[in-house]
Amino acid sequence: MRQFRNSLFLVFTSSVFSLIIIELFCRLVIDDGMHYHLEMWKYAINLKQISKNPEIGHEHLPNKKIRLMGVDVETNNFGLRDDWIDKYPQEDVIRILMLGDSITFGWGVESDKTIAKRLENSLSLNLNRKVEVINAGVGNYNTSMQVEWFETVGLLFSPDIVLLNFFINDAEATPAYKEISFLDKYLYSKVIFLAGVDSAKRNFFGEKNWENYYRSLYSVDSSGWLDLKKSFLSMVEICKINDLPLIVLDYPEMRRLNPYPFKDISKKIERLSVANSVDYISLLPAIVSERPESLWVSVPDPHPNGYANKLISDFLTNELSQNPSIKYRLSK
């Protein structure tokens, strides 16, 4: 019996020691500040909080600063990755509100090189008038969450124009959140292990790959697609009531660009927009001739990098400068 207890104690202490070594290895060796899964986890743990509004799901903590994916990220008084925002715009300033997810947020891109900031500078120059573009992008937001945030918070900023940034995963369901456990909050090794399990499922055990997964979101009876359409119609109605021009910007999935595999899904979003008298701009032409990997933050992470942000913002500046909605606001 005594020998059994000693053996059990040895197994236990060896296991604990091994786990400590693995955790230290993950923290000191694997974590180089550019590991996609670890950085996304740090983002969720350090910069997000559960929203009091379950329809929003989560939101950024205000006035926080952290380094993620090699760049400094700082939130303002409203928890947005932007400069300090006065609730009411200055006189003679066109205020544009950009709703979106991690692409709009500028994942892995310095703040002054994000699409929102580049657009702010270039539109001010092109239109010869001060333009303020508020970056309201929050990682992992879908269209329904964006619309709910806009209705409860974004409208308070009195925007002149609203840009609804669409990405193909915006038809995902809004997640339900619970408090984060100790292990989920502090163990780097758990994050890396679960990322490996997820990859193995997709590569070896028949889980949907990224293309099949995206397509499944837009089946006729998909709850996410139905929620997206419902939220979009709500957004259209809100903008009509408040005399706000609404423009949909369709960001391409950048793993494969030519031929682009999701033109049919983009066409669905375009038809939904046009049917409701909403301007629609596809951003695929801005980058379609580029090699996809040259546009990514890192090889495992196909978020648009600084170069892609520049190409998209340059294209968008030209499109918006000619847009009737913006010209209308200029004349007011």
d(CA 209, CA 99): 27
Confidence of residue 201 (pLDDT cuts 50, 70, 90): confident
Q: List pLDDT tens digits, range 101-115.
A: 999 999 999 999 999
**How would you class 184 by CB atoms within 10 Å of its CB: exposed for 0-12, middle for 13-18, buried for 19 or more?**
middle
Query: Which structure tokens are listed for 59?
Result: 């939101």
d(CA 119, CA 125): 10
**How would you class 22 by CB atoms within 10 Å of its CB: exposed for 0-12, middle for 13-18, buried for 19 or more?**
middle
Q: List pLDDT tens digits, range 52-111.
A: 999 999 999 999 999 999 999 999 999 999 999 888 888 889 999 999 999 999 999 999
- The pTM is what? 0.92
| Cβ proximity of 142 and 104 under 8 Å | no
| Cβ proximity of 292 and 325 under 8 Å | no
The amino acid at residue 194 is L
Confidence of residue 328 (pLDDT cuts 50, 70, 90): confident
d(CA 154, CA 134): 10
- Rounded to the nearest 10 degrees, what angle do helices 306-321 and 115-127 cross at? 30
Confidence of residue 195 (pLDDT cuts 50, 70, 90): confident
Residue with tokens 């959140």: 177
Query: Which structure tokens are listed for 89?
Result: 């715009």
Question: Regarding the domain delimited by 75-173+202-331, which CATH topology (the fold level of the hierarchy) does it fall under?
Answer: Rossmann fold (3.40.50)
Strand partners, 98: 135, 163
Residue with tokens 């709850």: 223
| Cβ proximity of 147 and 231 under 8 Å | yes
Strand partners, 249: 165, 281
Whether residue 206 has pLDDT greater than 80: no
* 259 prior amide bond cis, ω within 30: yes
Looking at residue 35, what DSSP letter applies? -
d(CA 177, CA 175): 6
Count Cβ atoms below 10 Å from residue 155 Cβ, excluding itself.
Answer: 17
Q: How many helices (H) and strands (E) does the chain have?
A: 13, 11
Domain boundaries, the chain: 1-30, 75-173+202-331
Mean pLDDT on 176-201: 85
CA of 292: how far to CAs of 47, 297, 308, 326, in Å?
29, 11, 10, 31
d(CA 294, CA 140): 23
Q: List pLDDT tens digits, range 117-143.
A: 999 999 999 888 899 999 999 999 999
Q: Kindly report which listed range (45-49, 162-166, 185-189) carries the lowest average pLDDT score.
A: 185-189
